[in-house]
Structure 1
Amino acid sequence: MRVTGWRDKREFVEFPYRLYRHDSFWVPPLRIQQRRMFDTHRHPFYREAEMERFLAVRQGRTVGRIAAILDHRYIRHRQEQAGWFGFLETVDDVETAAALVSAASDWLVRRGIRLMRGPMNPSTNYECAMLVEGFDSPPYVMMPYNPPYYPRLMEGLGLRKAKDLYAYHTTATEINVAQAERVAEYASARGVRVRPVRLKEIKAEIERFFQVYNSAWNNNWGFVPMSRAEMEYLAEEIKPVLDPNLALLAEVGEKVAGCALALPDINQALRHARGRLFPLGLFKILYHRRRIRRMRVVILGVLEEFRAAGVAAALYAALFRHGLRAGYREGEFSWILEDNVMMNRSLEALGARRYKTYRIYEWKG
């Protein structure tokens, strides 16, 4: 059934909290953030995108949900007639999964789209892909999680792999800081300078991130440029957990050459709030936030003209220095495309190990 009134909208948000209530690895997102994500009137993503949401109901009880998404910015940028499915949650039942996937694909076909990929929640600039390996630990901040039966359901319905995304893990004792520092010295000798963002110039700094992000990732599979409004919106979303020393810009002379962003793994605190800020959730988050010892490298990109200058290593070295000084003992690098050979090899050389795999599936009508 199509989501229409406020009861359906509430049910779409609430269903995962029931589905995962006995799953110790799932981290309940804040409900207020979920509602913002689905606000098609206010969230800047929907200025150039459409979304239709569906619920699967059996005997009066919700057993699944899905969204069909048409990102016009992607179609225009990649010159590919493709649409997405996203925000998929379902019980372990092939008929339910089939009904959900059919609802999304039918909605896209009616709009002339016969290639569907997902999960995209709602694009590669946000949470995306389905966990297919590495179900033995909770996700880091802004990474998805799902039960082990999800890939089986997708493949049983005939969806095929479009692309795999990797997540790497390391610890303070495993990471090869010396290796990164050696390359960083090489970069420094060639004029590369890495600095934290200047909070007093935050609008200008966001603009610098924006320019690097949309340029450095432009040729990556599945990439769609983020609008300026989206970048500003996301900056507001992460501001409460941002450590300025982990938001870095690399410069060569007067030019911005690259950027990096790592976030404290706020999931370690969020899991205690059970999706609510009030009446006690906020206090629990603030209390447990002091104990966070994990961080995730969310963004690290270098403009093409500077990729031979050791900029990436300089950014990594600065993240390692600041992270260790701040007391972080574990870290995740995610996500990296399976065919990004240079980045995958670089992380392995730095002592990181691949420990989770996420998959974007594809359906062709």
Structure 2
Amino acid sequence: MSSAVEIRPVRHLLGRRVFVDVPFRIHGGDPGWVPPLRMSVHDRISPRHPAMSHQEVALWVAYRHGKPVGRIAACVDRAFNEYQGVRWGWVGFYDTFDDPEVSDRLFETACGWSAERGMDTCVGPANFTTNDELGLMVEGFDDPPALLTLQNPRYYEGLWLRAGWEPAMDLWGWHFVKGDVALSERQRRTIDRIQERAGVHVIQLEKDQFDSQVGRFFEVYNAAWSRNWGFAPMPEPEVRHLAKQLKQVLRPEWAFGLETDDGKLVGVCLALPDVNLLMHRVRSGRLLPTGWLPLLTGQKRLPRARIWALGVHPDYQPMALGTLLYREVFDRLGSDPHIRTGEASWTLATNKRINEQLEAMGATRSRVWRLYQRPARLG
């Protein structure tokens, strides 16, 4: 009965702890589920996170007979809406049992909150924007999720569609296997000519210089994505905050850029070891007392990597420099004796140029995350 479902707002630290714990209650018995690191979730929903300077966020937990059975969050990002010229409310941190009544009530609450703040459209799932983890997995359930990507059970799609959500954009993940992703000599000669014509060379983003170079790196990243669907630039405080987290798993040889002869950075690429393969063993999501051990000892032998960020400055995109970046990162990953597979994710389904380049190099589309939209008020 509807009266048995109660949606409670989260306002304090204790409530946030319950909020973070909900997916462990729902998915903890699934051996294929990769637990998030609790401290990372607490960080993102904390009022002290730098993105909160331009975001208004609300969190809720659903209870049935006094027990948590679901959660959801909503976010109004003023900077994003101004940049894109829209009135969107983002909906994310969605978790529930296969319970349509609970799910519908959660959506009504989050979208109603967005409507009360003048939003006309809700978009999700996203935790909280395209600068964060986002998308409902609708294809690719056979492989465990890669680092910094969302995972969900198959039944979520039906719950979203039932509640009036419609597809807005697909995000693609590309799978590559060491040895299968290879360039012919003809392709390499073509890329060499592209590099010579563009007048660029590869530079290393050294780990000990990462803090000083990260602003330059993300300046190119922001420019490269500036014309893409759903994008808004990441301000420097958020860049610094994210960089501090990425540095914990960064391998210097997998972070590099393209620079012109006069010193202008025009392309960037960052691949990361897929520590999700280790998080699978940290079932509590806590580093203490022993959760830190597999993360500390297993990183250097990880067999999978994720190409997390790759972009070319808009002024240089017509020169096809993306192929140069992909050649370089595939060569670097291929030289690691432990790496056997990798994932390049995500790309927009509408980004024909990059998707064709990946396919030409031997990568196969293996995963699809879908973003949905619906009016903030139905009816």
CA distance in 2, matches of 1:74, 1:5: 26
CA distance in 2, matches of 1:5, 1:203: 33
Q: Identify the match of residue 136 of structure 1 among 99, 122, 142.
A: 142
CA distance in 1, matches of 2:129, 2:151: 16
- 2:148 aligned counterpart, secondary structure: coil
CA distance in 2, matches of 1:187, 1:315: 11
CA distance in 1, matches of 2:117, 2:100: 26
Post-superposition CA distance 1:41-69 (Å, at most 9, x none)? x2111111010001110001111000010
Determine if the alignment matches structure 1 residue 287 to structure 2 residue 302: no
* Contact 2:177–2:341 (8 Å) recurs in 1: yes
Mind listing any 5+ residue stretches in structure 1 that lack a counterpart? Answer: none
Aligned counterpart, 1:325: 335
CA positional deviation for 1:200: 3.9
Aligned counterpart, 1:249: 257
TM-score by length of 1: 0.96
Aligned counterpart, 2:316: 306
- After superposition, residues 153-192 of structure 1 pair within 5 angstroms as 153-178=159-184, 181-190=188-197, 191-192=199-200
Aligned counterpart, 2:241: 233
Determine if the alignment matches structure 1 residue 221 to structure 2 residue 248: no
Post-superposition CA distance 1:246-269 (Å, at most 9, x none)? 111101222111101110001111
**Further displaced range: 178-187 or 6-15:** 178-187
CA distance in 1, matches of 2:32, 2:256: 31
Q: Identify the match of residue 150 of structure 1 among 143, 152, 156.
A: 156
CA positional deviation for 1:199: 3.2
CA distance in 1, matches of 2:273, 2:255: 11
Post-superposition CA distance 1:49-100 (Å, at most 9, x none)? 0100011100011110000100011011011111110100011011111000
| Structure 2 CA distance for partners of 1:289 and 1:202, relative to 1, 3 Å | closer
CA positional deviation for 1:16: 0.7
* Contact 1:187–1:311 (8 Å) recurs in 2: yes
CA positional deviation for 1:7: 2.8
- 1:120 aligned counterpart, secondary structure: coil
CA distance in 2, matches of 1:272, 1:26: 10
CA distance in 1, matches of 2:220, 2:133: 20
Q: Identify the match of residue 63 of structure 1 among 56, 59, 69.
A: 69
| Structure 2 CA distance for partners of 1:183 and 1:127, relative to 1, 3 Å | farther
Amino acid of the structure 2 residue aligned with 1:268: L
CA distance in 1, matches of 2:11, 2:120: 25
| Structure 2 CA distance for partners of 1:183 and 1:209, relative to 1, 3 Å | farther
Post-superposition CA distance 1:83-132 (Å, at most 9, x none)? 11010001101111100000101111111112100011111011001101
CA positional deviation for 1:362: 0.5
* Contact 1:194–1:314 (8 Å) recurs in 2: no
Post-superposition CA distance 1:179-228 (Å, at most 9, x none)? 76334312332222112203343233111112111111001000011011
Aligned counterpart, 1:85: 91
CA distance in 2, matches of 1:362, 1:199: 39
* Contact 1:129–1:144 (8 Å) recurs in 2: yes
Aligned counterpart, 1:2: 9
- 1:127 aligned counterpart, secondary structure: coil
Amino acid of the structure 1 residue aligned with 2:76: L
Aligned counterpart, 2:215: 207
Amino acid of the structure 1 residue aligned with 2:177: T
CA distance in 1, matches of 2:20, 2:209: 36
Aligned counterpart, 1:259: 268
TM-score by length of 2: 0.93
Amino acid of the structure 1 residue aligned with 2:350: D
CA distance in 1, matches of 2:324, 2:32: 34
Aligned counterpart, 1:335: 346
CA positional deviation for 1:155: 0.4
Q: CA RMSD in A?
A: 1.3
CA positional deviation for 1:326: 1.9
* Contact 1:181–1:314 (8 Å) recurs in 2: no
Determine if the alignment matches structure 1 residue 47 to structure 2 residue 53: yes
Post-superposition CA distance 1:276-334 (Å, at most 9, x none)? 11111111222332330110111110012212334212211211121111221101011
Identity, in percent, stands at 36
* Contact 2:322–2:354 (8 Å) recurs in 1: no
CA distance in 2, matches of 1:256, 1:301: 11
Determine if the alignment matches structure 1 residue 102 to structure 2 residue 113: no
Mind listing any 5+ residue stretches in structure 2 that lack a counterpart? Answer: 1-7
**Further displaced range: 16-25 or 109-118:** 16-25
- 1:11 aligned counterpart, secondary structure: helix
Amino acid of the structure 2 residue aligned with 1:110: E
Post-superposition CA distance 1:14-64 (Å, at most 9, x none)? 111121112222211111111111111x21111110100011100011110
Aligned counterpart, 1:38: 45
**May I ask how many residue pairs the two structures share in their alignment?**
364
